[in-house]
Structures are given as C-alpha cells and as structure tokens.
Amino acid sequence: MNETLTINIIANAALGPLLSGGDNIFIECARRWAQMGHKINIFVWEEGLQMCERKDLTGVNFILWPAARFKKFGFLTLYFARIVIGCIGAWKYNFKSPCIIYSASDFWPDSIPAFIMKLRNQNVKWIAGFYLFAPAPLLKNSPYKGKRWFTGLIYWLTQKPCYWIIKRYADMVFVTSEPDVKRFITKQRCKDKIVVVRGGVDIKPSEGYLKSGKITPVEEKKYDACFVGRFHPQKGVLELIDIWELVCKEKPNARLSMIGSGPLEADVKTKVDKLGLSSNIELLGFKDGNEKYEVFKLSKIVVHPATYDSGGMSACEAMAWGLPGVSFDLEALKTYYPKGMVKTPCYDKQEFAENILRLLDGGYMYDRLSKDALGWAREWGWEVRSREILEKVKAICQ
C-alpha cells in the first residue's frame, strides 16, 4: 500500500515547557511521515504549537485549538477548557476523506476529541497512544505518596474512563513496553493491533561524534553520571539525590548532572542544598539538541532511577553516545532495556549506588556495557522506528 495517508494527530494535552516521551514519539514520527509524502495534521493549543516549533517540526499542517486565555484561571480550568475546546473542534472538523486519528496520549484533551472524531465518522481509524498506566492509590511502591497522594488518586480515577473508551473503541493502541500489551487484547482487537512503540533516538549526531576521533577520554570527562528526564515523582529524581549522597561517601568528588524540568524542580534543589551536595550535583534545567549532546559527551554513565515507569527513552539518548546505564529492575525495563544497563533490585538505593561505583571503576564491565548500550541504541534509530510504526498503521487501513 503506497497511497498517501492522511494522519490527524491530536496533541492537545502537550505542555510547552515540558517534553514527554509521548510528545517525542508523535513529533519524530510526524516529521518523518511528512517527509515520506503523507499528509499530517496536528491539532494543538498554543503551548503545544510552541513545543513543536521548538523541535523544528516542519512539513505538517497545524490546526490551533486556542486555550491560552484560560491560563490565568489556573491549571484545572485550563485543563478542562482544552477538553471542551478540543471536543468542539473535533465535532466541527470536516472529514474530506477516510483518515487516521492518532491521539498522542491517554489524557482527556487528546483522547476525548479523538473519540468524538471516531464516533462521527466510522471510516476513521483511531490509533490511541497509551504509554503509562496510573499506579493504583494503595500500590506499595506508588510514587504518589504523602502530600502527593491526592494527585495520584485523581490521576488514577481520571484515567479509568479513558482506558475503557480506548480499549472498547480504538482500532489500534500504541504502548511503550511488552507488559502492557495484554491489557488491550479483546475479542475485537488481536495482539497485532497493539504496537509496542518503545520510542526512538536520533543517532546521527552521536554516530558523527564517535567516528570523528575526537572523543573525550573517559578519565577526562567532567561528569561521572548524568540524568535526563522530567523532574517528576515517577522518575525517581528525589531518590537519585539520596543515591548520589551514598556515591559521594565513597567518591567525595563525584559529579552528577541533571537535565530536566518539572513539578519537582524546587524539591530537588532544596534537597540538594539540604544534603550539602551543591558542588556534586549540577542542575542544568531543560536542554535539548546540541546543548544536551554536549552533556552526554562529558559524562561517563547515565542513571535512570525511575521507580514507576513503562520505559523511558531519555536514557537511550545517552546510551547512543556510548554511556552505559544503571536503573532499578522494573518489570517494563526487562524488555525495554535488556542490555547496556545494570539492573538494581527495586528501590535498593545502596545497591544502586554500588552499581554506579562499579561502573565508574572502568575496566571490562564498563567497556562491555558501553558497547552494548551503543548497539541497543542503534536499534532505536528514528529512521527505522518511524517506518516500522507506519507499516503497522497501514495495516489497519487495508
């Protein structure tokens, strides 16, 4: 099937200052699908548009669902305004031909307008992105504890109706890792229509660097480790501060760089100062493109301390630069990162710190995992991944 596809991407939940894994997936796929000659329409509000522009996404058609005027009324009002405006826009949208609807996330501003488009036109094929199940409120290792308990409860409750709608009505579901596949299999939807997207990496910059012969020797690198990701409870950023304190007890001058932003920025800074680690942990804020790559060049390893996750492609970006990783042995990561990363028994901070120190000792273990990390990252190249995903998409149109 070589005909041109029309793919409508609903990305109304995107937040301008942040870039989630789901955002990265739809942006990089849209970029390459458009280059292949397919017609891509992206439905966004103002901050989503700014995010796409910041990522230099061109060759697509943006359809604005304006909602920024509601920001002054607070997050909840803005959130529900985006849902309502998206639903109205979806209801009014004129389908000129059979097309594909791709909701970039399970959040209401994405999934509910996509559902409306599906109801309005039975010729529409709906692909639903569903990349992370909210942890149950009483889950022992939920990242939503203490003062965050209510936030976790709301997240869990609001995801339930979207899960039911997607499971019942979506023609295809994108998930991040293998363990989530079985949760979407129904009598109407076989396993072939649940795609493990996993994510991708732009490997061209790192390949050019590694072939240049100007690689910074490991012993001369500025940072012993780097973290890249959202400063969010699920990502283990506060736990990472504790882990780095343990590393510094054995290696007093150990340096960690943390790339990212998010709701825990203030908490992270406070904890770093409280533990006296300001000279050991450098908070770099949000970085992308060459600025982020420069940090990878100057780092020895990548740490991925997520305590609740379905994957997390940010670590693989660093692995593409030859950085071996350390993570907790989460169920999703068994298939997501089967090599190139040392797995630590879940939530054992002391063992996590010791694994970091083992890698920093260098030698055979470091060299082997560095090669494994490079090999695994190359399998994630966006050029390959976007085509593989598109072939799956084409299958539901036949």
Q: What is the DSSP string of 276-316?
A: T-TTTEEEEES--THHHHHHHHTEEEEEE--SS-S--THHH
- DSSP 8-state secondary structure symbol assigned to residue 135: P
> Residue 336 pairs with which residues in a beta bridge?
none
Which residue bears the tokens 């295809």? 172
CATH superfamily membership of 6-200+382-395: Glycogen Phosphorylase B; (3.40.50.2000)
Tokens of 70: 């509601």
Report the pLDDT value the prediction gives residue 105, as an integer from 0 to 100: 96
Distance CA 397, CA 205 (A): 35
pLDDT tens digits, 141-150: 788 887 788 8
pLDDT tens digits, 163-207: 999 999 999 999 988 889 999 999 888 899 999 998 888 888 998
Q: Which CATH architecture has domain 204-378?
A: 3-Layer(aba) Sandwich (3.40)
State the DSSP string of 79-133.
HHHHHHHHHHHHHH----S--EEEESSSSHHHHHHHHHHHHH-TT-EEEEE---P
pLDDT tens digits, 221-262: 999 999 999 898 999 999 999 999 999 999 999 999 999 998
CATH 3.40.50.2000 segments of the chain:
6-200+382-395, 204-378
For the cut 50, the answer to whether the pLDDT of residue 1 exceeds it is: no
Q: Pick the closest to residue 160 from 121, 106, 81, 200 (CA basis).
A: 106
Report the pLDDT value the prediction gives residue 141, as an integer from 0 to 100: 77
Estimate to the nearest angstrom the gap between the alpha carbon of 360 and the chain centroid: 27
Q: What is the pTM of this model?
A: 0.88
